[in-house]
Amino acid sequence: MSAEATNPVSAAEAAITDTGVRRRGRARLDLRRIGRAALLGATAGPAPRDRLPDAISHVAEAHRAHHPDADLSVLRRAYVLAESSHRGQFRKSGEPYITHPLAVTLILAELGAETTTLTASLLHDTVEDTEVTLDQVRREFGDEVAYLVDGVTKVEKIDYGAAAEPETFRKMLVATGDDVRVMSIKLADRLHNMRTLGVMRPEKQARIAKVTRDVLIPLAERLGVQALKTELEDLVFAILHPEEYETTRALIAGPAGTGSTDALAAAAEQVAAVLREADIAADVLVRPRHFVSVHRARLKRGELRGCDFGRLLVLVAEDADCYAVLGELHTCFTPLISEFKDFIAAPKFNLYQSLHTAIAAPDGGVAEVLIRTHRMHKVAEAGVVALGSPHATTPDSTAPDAADPSEGFETAGDGERTDPTRPGWLARLLDWQQSAPDADTFWNSLHADLAEDREITVFRADGGTLGLPAGATCVDAAYAQHGEAAHGCLGARVNGRLAPLSTPLSDGDTVQLLLAQDTGSGPSPAWLDHARTPAARIAITAWLQAHPEAAHQPAAAPRPQLSVAADRNSRAELHADLDGGPPAPVRPAGCCTPVPPDEITGFRVRGGAVTAHRTGCPAVDTMRRLGRTAVPVRWGDAAHCRVTLVAESFGRPGLLADLTEAIATAGAEVVSATVEPPNEQRVRHTYTLELLDAAELPRLMRAMRDVPGVYDVGRTHGL
């Protein structure tokens, strides 16, 4: 059987009947408080056996709190089938087995799952552990419920042994990608098993806790199910780090922890008073930290004060109200600007939205404040569970009570999140797992991906966006946008400037990838040093393995440059203002080739001549550091000038002819031209040109950029 048990009924389960807050006039259970009570050692006796048949009423009550119009008949039918099929089966603690699917379903009901998910949750072990068949589930409850039960059944067969982990987790993630509700049920199942893990041998507890820590908790984070993630963290913390856990437990139960209630309540009252005076309708709540959060705060801050044991949560109706609350708090209290984060304007990769700030507390400490709407809070706690079913609008849906899950949620213009229950990271993961050559590569890549806890958003040149892990480079962006076509990437523009592919990207950057026209080109082995995402690393490795000669190909010997020159002596007129001395010849410096109306500075050189540099030329700073005295120079009345331009392009036949034709059409004459040997399919052309009118230079550069294959034209920039 899939469930592992210990106590007849855990403290968390026993607390179900008497723990709650009010929502829509009905009692609503609080998973956070339930888990906290269990971890603090609260005890309760087992539920009487004669109450067991009525247990579905707790699920119904919790479900109606979120879905008042839900049809509960399907839940009753599912419960009857589950209870009758599991009858005679017991958990390792001796409890009737039906307590497990009931507890899992209750967890999901409290998170706001729709009826179809709850139905599948009640039945999630029937096909695996009883005589019930998948066809029977399909006949009685429909295709959607049968699909979810089948998906969970496959996930339940996972062997968590070290040798089996890679391939079985790959299968699990494929099932999750098809419908994230499969993983929602699995996470709730793992939470209940972790709550009741005490009868297992210590080594088995540690093994299950490690898998939970390494894979399931990061997955819960990415699915946004914080209510499950935080309690799983605490349960794993207690098993894997018992000494630190006991220290944290004693700290919370000690004077500092118990005194936190008064300190946080006082801060909450002050905040509430400020918002009432500003006529902002808001609920101000005290949100205790969970055990792992307290442990991390202690490591970061040392001795903890009252307000360090929790946060203030401010809930408002509209997005604009969040910023109104923030303005009032920063006006009326002393804020810690370093603690401010805006996850509303830039949501996290798991759909999380909130404003984070911190203010000076009455006890002299710091009170952290979370500001969000009620809708944001629901998604922050329940993640994809709160978004419902992606099939809720279909006519044959088993959950007619479910609202449109995408209501209130924006989707990316590139379609990456067209299904709101499938976050962008999951779609990317499903793409690259198909390319992984073996299970071990997939497993290692999965660990690396799950270890990244921050995501950035970069903008594509076509207006779309790319979600990438923090630290990603242009290489990662290339493979995220173009897939295997990125093998021919030659470079990138980051925020309009040419940049190497190794350039790290920051949140909000605009990136344009430059692809070679030759589809036979491939990546360099050095790209692996700059790739951070599994998709990029797997694709590069696969190409290099398929082309072993590319990894060991020696660098091409340098070829002589191709140069052509013409004898031209005309210059734009330059004059030097010399105090009392004879006139001196003035010529433009070859390092920066100034042309009218550039700002220029002159310096004397050997033979009494003066060279004129553009003011921003690096040679100017060098001359001044050497103590050379600048000479005032100015342009004369003549408009003609000489300028050196560099054209960066992809190599192709006829490019030189097309460029020279564009130059001639623009009315410029070529004084000299240099074509460097191709390097990774890129070619650099350097032209020294004579213009009859310096004002025509911008038009000339535009004409050169319009030549097919040319991706940049600029003037030379110094020595």
Which two three-digit tokens encode residue 380? 């922050």
Q: Are 715 and 644 in contact (CB under 8 A)?
A: yes
The amino acid sitting at 489 is C
Taking the C-alpha atoms of residue 99 and residue 91, their distance in angstroms, rounded to an integer, is 9
SS3 208: helix
Cβ atoms of 166 and 443 closer than 8 Å: yes
Residues 6+ apart with CB under 8 A from 626: none
Q: Give the integer Cα–Cα distance in Å for 470 and 456.
A: 6
- Going by C-beta distance under 8 Å and a sequence separation of 6 or more, which residues neighbour residue 317? 281, 373, 374
Contact in structure between 651 and 663 (CB atoms under 8 Å): no
H helices of 368-454, in order, are 374-382, 424-435, 439-451
Catalytic residues: 128-129
| CA angle, residues 250, 252, 256, in degrees to nearest 5 | 105
CA separation for the pair 175, 381 (Å, rounded)? 23
Contact assessment for residue 361 and residue 267, using Cβ atoms and an 8 Å cutoff: yes
Whether 92 contacts 51, CB under 8 Å:
no
**Residue position matching structure tokens 């062997």:** 159
Q: Which of 386, 351, 408, 422 is nearest to 117 (CA)?
A: 386
**Long-range residue pairs from 442-450, CB within 8 A, at least 24 positions apart, any chain:** 442/166, 442/170, 443/165, 443/166, 443/169, 443/170, 445/534, 445/537, 445/538, 446/169, 446/173, 446/215, 446/534, 447/214, 448/534, 449/425, 449/533, 449/534, 450/214, 450/215, 450/218, 450/219, 450/222
SS3 300: helix
CA angle 130–135–139, rounded 5-degree value: 115
Per-residue b or e along 543-554, where b marks 16 or more CB atoms closer than 10 Å to that residue's CB: bbeeeeeeeeee
